[in-house]
Amino acid sequence: MPLFRRGTIALIVGLGFAAGLRAEDEGVAKGGPIDEITFQFLPPPIDEARYSIGVFDAKGKLVRRLHEGTLESAFPAALNGLIVHWNAKDDAGRRLPNGHYKLGGYAVGPMKVTGVATKGNDWLADDPTLRVATVEAIVALPTNAFAAAVRCTDGRAGLVCVRDGRVVWHVPVESGAGRGEATLGLGGDEFIVVSRGGKVTQHRVDSGAVTETGESAAVRSLAAEGWKLEGGRLVQQAPTGEVVREWQPGTGEPTPAIMAPDGPDRIYLVERASSPNWERLRGIEASPGNGTKAGWRTFFERTIRVPEKFDAPDAALTLRVDLVKNPLGPRRGGQPTLTLQAMADERGSYLGTTDGLRLRQVSTVKGLRSAALAKGGTKGSLRFFQRDAAASEEFLIEGVDRIMAFDVGGCEINGRGEVLPEGEAPEPK
């Protein structure tokens, strides 16, 4: 029985598949480096498939993701199929212990991902990329406009300008090393001054472009208009201390936390509720001359109120689906199945397996708090739900009935660092 050493290759032919492997290093020490092990496999008969392939240890645990959503054209070709390389390391680049390893995965046919609904955030109607989680500061601008310092769900800070009720621009803002929320000021009528974490930047009102870094200009004085927040209500006082106007939210409504006056009769408010995921930015206007019982009109509103539950009673982290039976695999056995899992990481959300192999990317939204799956209304479909601090979203995924499992092969890395084909022991010396 041959050992697999430098420059040699063996081909293992099994029922319906072929796998070959080659160890590029000869005589490596126990636990030492292995440059490369090469496997060969026949692609499963799924049209326009993408391949996800992983390495599994003797206990069936996924220890390395070799390919996820890879097209067939990206694999090197051989006479007996496609080639996969592995260097005996895990996803963190660490050499794995000696032992038995198997390679396998899934061929995934074309899937269609369609956005169905987005709930809980009015800002996304202005721009789907504007995932505002909270408003930290506001300042009124000339000509029916305001600027807001915001924090987005991916942790980035931003500056948003709203004019005549719609977002006209939004830009990222650099933060200093200090902590705390942003503050906003005005540099005349042409500039917005942002101070965040000890770093001060000046932005043009018409575009948001940064013009310079320096000290903050004078902020429009709140005291000049007599506005103040007092016990969860908004009060406007005359210079004599007499209350001119007052306003307070309704029962169960969020209470004002930040304000930005826009003259004697108009003011912008950021309101927050004690329950999580509920924040509202409003512009309200008082009818002049009506005293403390003045009527109030809302002329602008953006609400963030993310639902705490997904819109499906059967939504769960996992969902079992039927696989397409692989004609190249074992002929015995019943209907093959796979338990799919809703997954999320720093790059977005995915449809994957319960052991962590990603099959299809669903979105590029970062910072997700939860995700779930539910049955779709048609054959081969499912519903994918995800939620972050900005919104709750639903997608329809079609084509989950075009997934086929397949084996690539296996190997044994023995105590001398020799790589052997699956089930083969070294010759005695």
Give the pLDDT of residue 195: 85
Question: 251-256, long-range: CB within 8 Å, 24+ apart, which pairs?
Answer: 254/278, 254/279, 254/280, 256/229, 256/232
From residue 111, alpha-carbon distances to 14, 46, 103, 347, 378 in Å are 30, 12, 24, 19, 14
Point out the residues of the chain with pLDDT beneath 70: 1-33, 176-180, 213-224, 276, 288-294, 423-429
Determine the Cα–Cα distance for residues 192 and 259; give it in Å rounded to an integer.
16
Determine the Cα–Cα distance for residues 391 and 377; give it in Å rounded to an integer.
23
Give the pLDDT of residue 228: 87
Does CATH place domain 10-108+405-421 in 3.40.220.10? no
Q: Which CATH class is domain 140-220?
A: mainly beta
Per domain, the residue ranges of the chain are 10-108+405-421, 112-117+309-401, 140-220, 221-305
Over residues 380-406, the pLDDT tens digits come to 999 999 999 999 999 999 999 999 999
Residue 368, Cβ density class (10 Å: 0-12 exposed, 13-18 middle, ≥19 buried): buried
Give the pLDDT of residue 74: 94
Give the pLDDT of residue 31: 44
Identify the helix (H) or strand (E) that includes residue 223: helix 222-225
Over residues 331-355, the pLDDT tens digits come to 777 889 999 999 999 899 999 999 9
Over residues 80-117, the pLDDT tens digits come to 899 999 999 999 999 999 999 999 999 999 999 999 99
